Structure 1
Amino acid sequence: MSLSSWPTGSAISFGGDYNPEQWSRDVWDEDVALMRQAGVNLVSVGIFSWGMLEVSEGVFDFAWLDELLDLLHANGIAVDLGTPTASPPAWFFAQYPQARVVAKDGTVQGFGSRGMASPSSPEYRAAAVRIATELAQRYAQHPAVVLWHVHNEYGAPVGEDFSPAAVTAFRVWLQARYGSLDELNAAWGTAFWGQRYTRWEHVGLPHATPSVANPAQRLDFARFSDHQLRACYIAERDAIRAHATQPITTNFMANECPGTDLFAWAREVDVVANDHYLTAADPRGHVGLALAADLTRSVAGGAPWLLMEHSTSAVNWQPRNVAKRAGEMARNSLSHLARGADGILFFQWRASRSGAEKFHSAMLPHAGTDSRVWREVVELGHSLQRLAPVQGSRVHADVAILWDAESFWAQDLEWRPSVDVQHRERVRAYYERLWRDGLTIDFVQPSQDLSGYRLVVAPASYLLRVQDAANLTAFVADGGTLLVSFFSGIVDEHDAVHQGGFLAPLREALGLTVEEFLPLRAGETARVSWTPDGAQAQELPADVWQDDIALDGAQVVGTYLDGPAAGRPAITRNAHGAGSAWYVSTRLDIDALAPVMERVYADARLAPAGLPFDVEVVTRRGADADFVVAINHSAEDVDLALGDGQELLGAAPVSGTLVVPAGSVAVLRTDARRVGGDGQP
């Protein structure tokens, strides 16, 4: 999306979901007055209002929405207009009970929640297109509407559907994918356990089975389920586009909706939008937030993106909903901004008195305007106004982490060598090591052009296509540095073990293969003797996993001291072409990864930033200036040597050292340190 078409022009977008249908008309005037006080310039409207807009099938009432949009526009507040299709009304399910979602065990899901319609239901698809069309015809020219918001959080709560409509659609999808039953049988390996199909009508969904269902079928069903959700989005998007010219999006949930292939979704939206909520049980949730923001920017191709939802304080659906501490909301918001977000929105504007989310925090809390949360919201709004020059600038990364939804779907299936091997854990561990070392990270698919990166990390590439392995191998040969973690390069796109064995497609790059997996028992630990380039040995603690490695040119830099692979290679480095490839065959924690990554960085010509613990610094690059965002999550003030410039939040000049108080954020504007006016390195 170009800067000229950003929904709120040259300003950082600020606001949130607005649900005035929950309130009497007199509250609306109070709301817009307070929005102006807080600096709100964008609100999302209509996301859960289908029953109020289409009161019965084909009978519409837009009077209240007409009045609302006029009121918002008169007060200078732009609208992200939602289609309400995440929550069909009661009359729809009474008329079309066959459109309800069916769970894997055959339970039909009832009315009274959200997201309960089958994505494969033709009746649902038709009704969704109808309401989207009516909204677009009526409001495409309304001056308040600057963005269209289709549905809400696809994949949450409904990802998979086992309804009769899904069975029919799955067979159609498979026929388009494979063309013939012979190809399907080959892809699914149906010779195993006598599962061969001779008629398409015999092919079903992977319902609950006496033992483990065919993993290739399960993987294809995950692909199909994601496709069906995306087809629903595309149908509504195209209905809107027939009448409207504003950009169209939907709100992702980055790494919180594992059933969606974000890179595929990003190709279908005009601007990438994401919802993010801290995991209260994670004491280092700010790192998980950074991961989600970097992932969102990456699927956006580096373009500015919109934080469609996050919370001012606690959420309401986790086992323990921890409130944010003073200053935490600003740190969260500006961390997203540092990583490329040009809009900071919340769920929601005014806290609901009724319903399932009445204990969810809001911009205007139950405590009203005489509250810490409200004062911080107003302060954040004013801060974002001062940060308007940041809008449109971009983030550059020298390091990439591989992210492949299909590999994650396959690895999550049953009967893997160890339940302790989790792709989320490994991605987070390597990400946090890089984060602590002050390196900026992109996420990429293994098929992407990798030439712009110095280091590529593959923490969890269980499923790796042969052509993607060739891409990684070429990256190394051309001078890149690759690090591969254990249980990678195991199967192809059909969840079949690669010909040649484990890691076979990366043999040339890594200089080894794996003869056998040697997972450890629960609670069992091991030690690795780390001896790069003949240096004095250092013991690194490890657990969960070991490999029995067969060397084919790789240099051993770490050896198992104990465990089933005692005396055998644990960590290797292989020179290939102009680059190098590292293999770590066990689970090292974040601290144990530090000495390994130090040597990997040296190969990649990278250096840790040397930041104090829990301080992050990210730079956004513009055409004429750089914007260095420094966030101090610690309880101590820190002095940072970030160069000379103007600190935008405090409107103060900086020469040499910038002091960032405990729990605070600073944004330093400096002159661009490069030639050229495109804002790129």
Structure 2
Amino acid sequence: MVKSIKLDTLQLGVCYYPEHWSEELWENDFKRMREMNISTIRVGEFAWALFEPEEGVFEFGLFDRALDAARRYGLNVIVGTPTATPPAWLTHRYPEVLNAAADGTLYRHGMRRHYNYNSPKYRELCAIITREMAEHFKSHPAIVGWQLDNEFNCETNVFYAEADHIAFRAWAQRKYGTLDALNAAWGTVVWSQTYTDWGQIYLPRPTVADSPNPHLALDEKRFISDSVIEFARIQADILREVAPNHWITTNGLFGHLDSHALTDELLDFFSYDSYPQFSTIFPSADENPLLDRKWSLNLSAARDISPNFCIMEQQAGPGGWVNRIDMPSPRPGQMRLWTYQSVLHGADLVLYFRWRTATVGTEIYWHGLNDYHNRPNRRVREAEQVGREFAQIGDKIAGTAYQANIAILRDYDNEWDGEFDVWHGPLTARSTNAWFKTLQYRHIPVDYVSLSAVGTDPEKLLRYQVLVYPHAAILSEETAELLKTYVEQGGKVIFGARTGYKNVHGHCRMQPFPGPVAELCGITVDDFTLIKGTVKAPALRWTTTDAGGPESFAESFNDILRVEDNAVEVLAEYASDYYAGSPALTRRKQGSGEAWYYGAAFGDDTVSIILDLLGLDSPVSSWLQAPQQVEVGIRQAADGSERVFLLNYGADSARVEVKGDYSDLLGASIEQETLELPAYGVAILTKSVDSD
């Protein structure tokens, strides 16, 4: 079942904190929101101390008045359960609810997200406040939905309180049944780590060289994800019972959480918090980085969970805390650009964070639409423009689906294992960036697909002409069979170095690499080496006349390949070092598809050549030409009509050549087959109604 938000038109919203402001401001705030075509506000996610000022005493009057005022102005309300910020009375009276560092030091009151998921007392108190809120607000006509907690696993995604160790012990016992099975899965025969009693089982604790058992470390991440889902389930079940007419979501995309399972089991749709400026202040180290445009990869990950989703927090200004995170102000037009970046990738409801910048607290530099002075500014004017545009075109966009015929595959096990394992983890980020960036600059839309969302159904993969699965060190036999079926039925799959050498426990297989896909690829790994320090990446020598472009290098890691099947074509060889002349890139046909294996991490130039060999081009290349600085993406309606988004991330204008009878939904003129996109400009092209 697809878990998507279901709206008839694009909707604009904003995060609002009535508890931060004098009640005298509320009416004017809500009036101005409606004038800007803002239809939705989010409230309450940090207000536990107001809802329950002392244990067992509940006060909802302030929010009753705020919600009543919002209702008078026709605003929809999303209510957040406030469990991300337990009040001082709670953590003082029940310190067992606090999270802890690996050495046992408790994280004290004074921040947020300082609790642990597995404290029985915290679960009890969270259930109480959730039920009290649900009972109180269930019939309020302004409320449309609920947000569970806020940003699960933000701030920290590891948990070492006593309750977590106890819960992990029980989790491991359920998972493995016997200590013999656990010892086998964790490889404890090494270094005399064998466990002889369940009481000896703990989450990773400080060790010499800070290097815990790697198989235990992998299970730690799986346990944390399960703990989050169990914790969220308590609240979701109460809300389903008490307020069945409201939808349920949560916001995030943080580490050590299977957001697909969370959504499938508990939510109506997924929500994401979009802050593209993070990719600008922390740019990738490669040449010509994507910067804020790279945020489209994160949005693609959210879209894989819910094809149409909510942006619960859209960046609306410079961001920062008092003591960390310092983002520059968005340039004129960028806030609107980032809003449409979210819409292109599937967002049908977008809420800006926040209405007005806080005057107190840690986030006094995390600016909202309005500044402290509450007077008009350019961010408000941009939001007003977006509001007018949503009102004009929203019904033509909402419910349409992003279109791509190539996907980058990902999976949680390899992400979690790769955090710890330096022999494959760093390769994935490098290769994913190279593929995504090259596809972006070539105007080829791409999906980012988690295999957990695919399951064992090859039909979910066959919508794509090409799959890129860069460095799947952990590769199960079931996944290998799924990919084999995909290839046999016409798909092309591309693997990278370090594929298939681990099983689901993270054990290295006693068989030739790449393990369960060796036969599919028709090769084995004869030798290998890290590319690091004084070891330089060898150039590639392309053996096909179809390969062109700049010189390319085999980066980060080199698998030296041995051809095992006469059907294998060697497309590139290593051009230097002791393995010069050995295969580096191979292709093998099986059924009506192909399996490719590249024995290195992917670089931009290599990806570009591979795309040429694949013959993969932009779906709009026959009628549209745009410079690199413009992102091109397509949202398609059920009737097959397309909305082609053009997003200019450049600080200068971009000239786009448009052939055929197209018009811009946002009103820009196309003269003599030319569209001029201003700096940070946006256009959404559609085929004219009277065209063929």
TM range (shorter): over 0.9
More off after superposition, 123-132 vs 170-179: 170-179
Aligned to 2:627: 612
1:239 and 1:518 mapped to 2: Cα distance? 54
Structure 2 partner of 1:113: 111
Alignment of 1:86-105 (within 5 A): 86-105=84-103
1:338-377 to 2 correspondence within 5 Å? 338-366=344-372, 368-377=374-383
Structure 2, unaligned runs of 5 or more: 284-288
Tell me how far apart the structure 2 counterparts of residues 274 and 655 of structure 1 sit (CA, whole Å).
40
Which secondary structure state, in structure 2, belongs to the residue aligned with residue 55 of structure 1? Answer: coil
2-structure distance, mates of 1:499, 1:476: 26
Tell me, yes or no, if the aligned pair for 2:550 and 2:605 is still in contact at 8 Å: no
Alignment check: 8 A CA contact 1:281 1:320 kept: no
1:678 corresponds to which residue?
A: none
CA distance, structure 1, for counterparts of residue 203 and residue 4 of structure 2: 46
User: 1:306 is matched by which residue type in structure 2?
Assistant: C
The whole-number CA distance in structure 1 between the counterparts of 2:490 and 2:351 is 41
Per the TM alignment, residue 352 of structure 1 is displaced from its structure 2 partner at its CA by: 0.1
1:359-413 C-alpha deviation (Å, 9 max, x unpaired): 0120112353332222112112212222212111112221111111221111121
- Map residues 217-616 of structure 1 onto 2, 5 A cutoff: 217-254=216-253, 257-267=254-264, 268-278=266-276, 279=278, 280-282=281-283, 284-300=290-306, 302=307, 304-317=308-321, 319-366=325-372, 368-389=374-395, 390-414=397-421, 416-417=422-423, 421-446=426-451, 448=454, 449=458, 450-522=461-533, 524-533=536-545, 539-553=551-565, 554-601=568-615, 611-616=626-631
Give the distance between the partners of 2:663 and 2:373, measured in 1 at CA. Answer: 37
| 1:630 CA displacement | 1.4
Gaps spanning 5+ residues in structure 1: where?
A: 674-681
Alpha-carbon distance in 2 for matches of 1:85, 1:572: 52
After superposition, the C-alpha distances for 1:612-646 in whole angstroms (9 at most, x for unaligned) are 21212212111344222111223233223264344
Contact 1:253 1:274 in 2 (8 A): yes
Cα distance in structure 1, aligned partners of 2:560 and 2:2: 51
Bigger mean CA deviation after superposition, 584-593 or 428-437: 584-593
Distance in 2, matches of 1:122 and 1:156, equals 21
Residues 53 and 536 of structure 1: CA distance in aligned 2, closer, same or farther (over 3 Å):
closer
In structure 2, distance between residues paired with 1:568 and 1:397 = 34
TM normalised by structure 2 equals 0.91
Asked if structure 2 preserves the Cα contact closer than 8 Å seen for 1:83 and 1:150, the reply is yes
Q: How does 1:191-230 map to 2 (within 5 A)?
A: 191-211=189-209, 212-230=211-229
- Amino acid aligned to 1:559: E
Residue 631 of structure 1 corresponds to which residue in structure 2?
647
Inter-CA distance 427–147: structure 2 relative to 1 (3 Å threshold): same
Structure-2 residue corresponding to 1:677: none
> How many angstroms apart in 2 are the aligned matches of 1:60 and 1:496?
52
Contact 1:558 1:571 in 2 (8 A): yes
Task: Name which of structure 1's ranges 200-209 and 606-615 shifts more when overlaid on structure 2.
Answer: 606-615
1:139 to 124, 137, 140: 137
Cα deviation digits, residues 287-332 of structure 1 (max 9, x gap): 32111111111111x2x11011121122115554122111111111
The 5 A counterparts of 1:643-654 are 643-650=660-667
Q: Cα 1:535–1:658, aligned 2, differ >3 Å: closer, same or farther?
A: closer
Distance 1:83 1:638 in 2: 47
1:133-212 matched pairs, under 5 angstroms: 133-211=131-209, 212=211
Q: Which moved more, 1:143-152 or 1:398-407?
A: 398-407
Query: For each residue in 1:118-139, what CA deviation from the matched residue of structure 2 results, as whole angstroms up to 9, or x when unmatched?
Result: 1010111111111111111111
Are 1:619 and 1:628, in contact at CA under 8 Å, matched by a contact in 2?
yes
Cα distance change, pair 4–151 in 1 and its aligned pair in 2 (3 A): closer
Amino acid across the alignment from 1:33: K
SS in 1 for 2:216: helix
* Cα shift at 1:204: 1.4
* 8 A Cα contact 1:153 1:250, kept in partner: no
User: Which sits farther off after the overlay, 195-204 or 121-130?
Assistant: 195-204
Aligned-residue offset at 1:669:
3.2
- Equivalent pair of 1:119/1:232 in contact (CA under 8 Å): yes
In structure 1, give the amino acid aligned to 2:649. H
The residue number in structure 1 matching 2:286 is none
Instruction: Write the distance in 2 (CA, Å) between the matches of 1:437 and 1:536.
Output: 16
Pairwise CA RMSD of aligned residues? 2.7
* Distance in 1 of aligned mates of 2:164 and 2:11: 39
Once residues 5 and 589 of structure 1 are traced to their aligned partners in structure 2, the CA distance between those partners, rounded to angstroms, is 36
CA–CA separation in structure 2 for the residues paired with 1:580 and 1:14: 44
- Going from structure 1 to structure 2, the CA distance change for 1:646 and 1:603 (only over 3 Å counts) comes to closer
Question: Which residue of 2 is the match for residue 663 of structure 1?
Answer: 680
Question: 8 Å contact 2:525–2:560 — kept in the other structure?
Answer: yes
**How many Å apart are 1:590 and its aligned residue?**
1.6
Which stretch shifts more, 580-589 or 657-666?
657-666
Out of 39-48 and 367-376, give the one that drifted further. 367-376
> Is residue 68 from structure 1 mapped to residue 66 from structure 2 by the alignment?
yes
TM-score (norm 1): 0.92
Decide which moves more: 168-177 or 653-662: 653-662
Q: Per the alignment, do residues 444 and 358 of structure 1 end up closer, same or farther by CA in structure 2, a change over 3 Å counting?
A: same
Q: Following the alignment from structure 2 to structure 1, what is the Cα–Cα distance between the partners of residues 678 and 642?
A: 22
Secondary structure (helix, strand or coil) at the match of 2:315 reads: coil
Distance in structure 2 (CA, Å) of the matches to 1:588 and 1:535: 16
Q: Which moves more between the two structures, 649-658 or 435-444?
A: 649-658
Q: Which residue type is aligned with residue 564 of structure 2? A: D
Among the aligned pairs, what percent are the same residue? Answer: 29
- Superimposed CA distance per residue, residues 440-488 of structure 1 (whole angstroms, 9 cap, x where no aligned partner): 2222233623121110001232221111011112211211111112122
What amino acid is aligned across from residue 404 of structure 1 in structure 2?
D
Secondary structure of the 1:129 match is helix
Per-residue deviation, 1:649: 1.5
The CA deviation string for residues 157-196 of structure 1, in whole angstroms up to 9 with x for no partner, is 2322111111111111112212222221221122222222
Change (3 A) 1:349 1:602: closer
Whole-angstrom CA distance in 2 between matches of 1:569 and 1:552 = 12
CA distance in 1 between counterparts of 2:172 and 2:671 reads 61
2:468 partner amino acid: V
**8 Å Cα contact 1:398/1:455 also seen in 2:** yes
Deviation at 1:656, TM superposition (A): 5.7
Structure 1 residues 537, 24: closer, same or farther in 2, change over 3 A?
closer
Q: How far 1:541 sits from its partner (Å)?
A: 2.9
* Partner SS state of residue 478, structure 2: helix
Change (3 A) 1:62 1:296: same
Q: Which amino acid aligns with 1:388?
A: G
